[in-house]
């Protein structure tokens, strides 16, 4: 996976969110939190993590996946793994 900039990353992440949570209305920004996305509960989070790991060929730790306070932190974590 080549290094991509933040806007490209958010675009790809948006597509993953839309597929995982089955909603074409999702628009991501740094401030979005789980409560803002219908279906982003604990099981939804697992589906999201697995989808993101598979898409970007990266691996998170259990500490990481339990620590993101919002989409911005999620994106920062992904960027760090892709760089």
Partner 1 sequence: MTACGVRQFAVNDRMVIKFTISEADQRQFADVSGDLNPLHLNYEFAERMGFGGLVVYGGLLIAKLSQIIGLHMPGPIGLWSNLRIDFLRPLLVGEMAQLIATVVQVSEASNSIVIGFTITSGAGVIAKGRALTTIIDQKLT
Interface residues toward partner 1, by CB under 8 A: 41-43, 45-47, 49-50, 53-54, 59-62, 64-65
Q: How far is the CB of 53 from partner 1 (least distance, A)?
A: 5
Closer CB to partner 1, 5 or 61, in the complex? 61
Closer CB to partner 1, 8 or 67, in the complex? 67
Following DSSP, what letter does each residue of the chain receive, concatenated? -----HHHHHHHHHHHHHHHTT-TT----TT--GGGSTT-SHHHHHHHHHHHHHHHT----HHHHTT--SHHHHHHHHHHHH-
Q: How far is the CB of 55 from partner 1 (least distance, A)?
A: 11
């Amino acid at each position: 996976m080549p290094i991509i900039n933040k806007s490209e990353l958010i675009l790809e992440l948006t597509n993953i969110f839309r597929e995982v949570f089955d909603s074409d209305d999702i628009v991501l920004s740094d401030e979005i939190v789980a409560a803002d996305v219908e279906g982003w509960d604990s099981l939804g989070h697992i589906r999201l993590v697995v989808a993101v790991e598979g898409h970007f060929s990266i691996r998170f730790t259990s500490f990481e996946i339990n620590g993101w306070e919002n989409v911005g932190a999620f994106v920062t974590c992904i960027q760090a793994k892709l760089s």
